[in-house]
Amino acid sequence: MAHRKGKGRRWIVIGAIVVVAAGLGVVFLPGKGKSTTGDIVEETAPVVRGELVMSIETTGRIQAKNSVKVTLDKGGWQTRITWLIPEGTQVKKGDTLAKCEDKNLKNQMDRYEMNLENSRTRITDATESKKVKEAGLETKLASAEFAFQQATTDKEIYGTVNLDEKGFLDEAAYDGPAAPAKGQVYQKFRDASLKITKAETELERAETNFEGLDKLLEKGFVTQNNYDEDKLKVEEARRSLESARLSYEILRRYTYPQELAQKETSVRSTWDALLRTKMEAKSAILEADTRIRTANLVFKRNERSYNECKEQLNALEEIKAPVDGAVLYGNPSRPWERERITVGANIWRGTTLFTIPDTSVMIIETRILEMDLYKCKVGQEVLVTVEALPGVVIRGTVSRIDQSSRTKSWWRGEKWKYFGVEAKLDGQDERLKSGMSCDVEIVMDRIPDALYVPVGAVFTEGDHKICYVVADGTRKPREVKTGRASEKYVEILEGLGEGQTVRIGDRVPAKKADEEETSGPGGKPLWR
């Protein structure tokens, strides 16, 4: 795994190439070589075949996955530290971590005695008052309950109706054991429906009787009076049907909703009145009971306050460790508060005095650039190195990626976005401490058998990618087809062979001195 130290990242790439080439039996001068076209010193690298690791390199910090914070939750707003355990001490659960004192809290212990004589008098007065109120409230409550029951009964008698899509009674809904009750409004709808049915029948009969009378009138079989009477009966039957339908619509749209709303309003209003009466009764009884209990409650409250003060003072005198582990002062995520944790210092309630990390599960907190967000996925392998442990590679797995970005300002005022990443380390290593800095390599993929060169050896010329092959003191452009690429290496699919040497650095311009090597007839590049 490469480190971003020493002479820079370019030399890291070349150093890695040297190691790989040496393992393959390839000998070359890393970093610099001489061409026969002059005294130009240039960097070269071999074309290597082997496993190509596609990764994202970054830095991070080692933290405990879980940690227990010891917070000052006892005492007043300000407490003075009188003794502290040395930071870094390995403690067991129940060991003393610190001692504190609160003089104001001690003074409060003398302020909770009261005279109970007045409370006894209030108990007698409240008891008599309660008896008087109970007698009047019983009568009022009975009246309110009767009114509510009557309104509920009226609503149940009135009932509700089930209508079909056309707005008529859904008779099928009233069959079966779970059918709704048939109340007054049900009968109203049935009567209104029956009127419509009768009117339709009358209209049908009148229209049947009138049908063909015009021809009979022409032949003289009926008189004009008979004809006019039957015609009038048809018109009357039609108007009766319209009237029946209109009455039904008025019942469905207006009368029924209004009457049902009135019944429901009556139920709600009587229920509200009943609730108010009950609440008034309950409030009156509670008020009397409260007056009876006041004296005793005052005494008990102050007794409880005294005991709480004593408990807090005892807790401040010796703050205990809740779990096993190594003690850290303050909260690691708020390092600027650590300096406040000293003997003799006054600290506020709610201050985190200690943090005890659980080192059984360690994680890496790191970050990636926005451009690498979709390359990094949960479950990918992570390789970690720590400066304090040279030569040791610790493995882990990406466990979380932030869903929102953060912005960081660079030294020239430039801003860039990044996403936080968390990785869980495999196993347990007691040498790892919370807060350690580390180098992190997030492995996106591994190509088991790839032909590859450093990224600095591939150049773009229009729509083509080329490499400059160095051989026999000359350098010739060669068109290549590339595959996947990491931050350091590029996979070569076509155009180069294992063991060849390529130039690293700026693109080589065509010169007259070596025109025969870089160009073909007509000045066309050889690699085309």
Per-residue buried b or exposed e for 253-283, using 16+ beta carbons within 10 Å of the residue's own CB: eeebeeebeebeebbeebeebbeebeeebee
* pLDDT at 414 (0 to 100): 67
| Number of independent structural domains in the chain | 1
Contacts of 478 (CB under 8 A, 6+ apart): 466, 467, 468, 469, 495, 496, 527
What pLDDT is attached to residue 410? 59
pLDDT of residue 32: 38
**So what's the pLDDT on residue 516?**
36
- What Å distances lie between residue 516 and 128, 433, 472, 500, 506, CA to CA? 123, 62, 15, 21, 21
In this structure, what is the dihedral angle of CA atoms 228, 229, 235, 240, given to the nearest 10 degrees?
A: 170
Residue 415 lies in a domain: no
pLDDT value of position 527:
41
Residue 483 inside a domain? The answer is no
Specify the pLDDT at position 123.
66
| Closest of 476, 21, 390, 23 to residue 31, by C-alpha | 21
- Residues with pLDDT less than 70, the chain: 1-41, 75-76, 112-120, 122-123, 409-414, 506-528
Q: Is residue 231 part of a domain?
A: yes
Q: Which of 247, 158, 253, 164 is nearest to 198 (CA)?
A: 247
Residue 17's H or E segment, with its range, is helix 9-24
Neighbours of 358 (CB within 10 A): 15
410 domain-assigned:
no
* Residues contacting residue 493 through CB under 8 Å, at least 6 positions apart: 451, 480, 481, 482, 483
165 belongs to a structural domain: yes
Residue 416 in domain: no
Domain-embedded: residue 175: yes
Confidence (pLDDT) at 14: 35
Residues 6+ apart with CB under 8 A from 481: 465, 492, 493, 494, 495
286 residue type, one letter? L
Q: Give residue 290's domain range.
A: 117-311
Q: Is residue 365 part of a domain?
A: no
Domain containing 214 — which CATH number? 1.10.287
H or E element that contains 451: strand 437-454
Six-digit token string for 275? 């609730």
What does the H/E/C string look like for 239-281?
Answer: HHHHHHHHHHHHHHHHHHHHHHHHHHHHHHHHHHHHHHHHHHH
Q: Judge residue 374's burial from the number of C-beta atoms within 10 Å of its C-beta, 0-12 exposed, 13-18 middle, 19 or more buried.
A: exposed
Tell me whether residue 333 is exposed, middle or buried, using C-beta atoms within 10 angstroms of its C-beta: 0 to 12, 13 to 18, 19 or more.
exposed
pTM higher than 0.75:
no
Q: pLDDT tens digit string along 451-483?
A: 999 999 999 988 999 999 999 888 899 999 999
